[in-house]
Amino acid sequence: MADLVWIYAEGVCDLFHAGHVEFFRQARLLGDRLVVGLISDADTSTYKPAPILNHAERLAVVRACRHVDRVLDVPAPLRTTCAFLDSIGADFCCHGDDMDTKELARWYGDLMPAGRLKVVKYSSAISSRAIIERVSDRLREGTLRRQA
């Protein structure tokens, strides 16, 4: 029996939505198993707005995704390296195609020459930021009812 191919995917996964599920589905198709790492709240804040859900809340939701076989208990590193993949038993890392080659090299520069980065289609129809904008718009319009 051949060794299983493990794919690693990392992200913030704030306000978990269909785009996250689709990304994990595509990533899982690249191998036999999918392991996910979540970026810490503090690290996320260095390059985008802080998550609404804290790390523990995001872990609980991602663990419930049927496409995910394992979720790292500790926060994922900001930059994924071959040594990190080896340390968690992953063969490849997966990311969406929403970054150009220069940006991918910034985050995954160690993986690219080793052929250990896989790219899948990015789901641009929905994002955590778009959900926040929807909620904000509805609050401004007064169409979002407040629960007592």
What structural domains and CATH numbers belong to the chain? 6-141 (3.40.50.620)
CA dist 116 and 109 (Å) reads 10
In tens, the pLDDT along 91-123 reads 999 999 988 999 999 999 999 999 999 999 987
Give the three-class secondary structure for 61.
Answer: helix
In tens, the pLDDT along 24-70 reads 999 999 999 999 999 999 999 998 889 999 999 999 999 999 999 99
- Tokens standing for residue 23: 């990304």
pLDDT of residue 148: 46
Asked whether the predicted pLDDT for residue 72 surpasses 90, the reply is yes
In tens, the pLDDT along 117-144 reads 999 998 777 877 888 788 888 888 887 6
pLDDT of residue 2: 64
Query: Which residues have a Cβ under 8 Å from the Cβ of 148 and sit 6 or more positions away?
Result: none
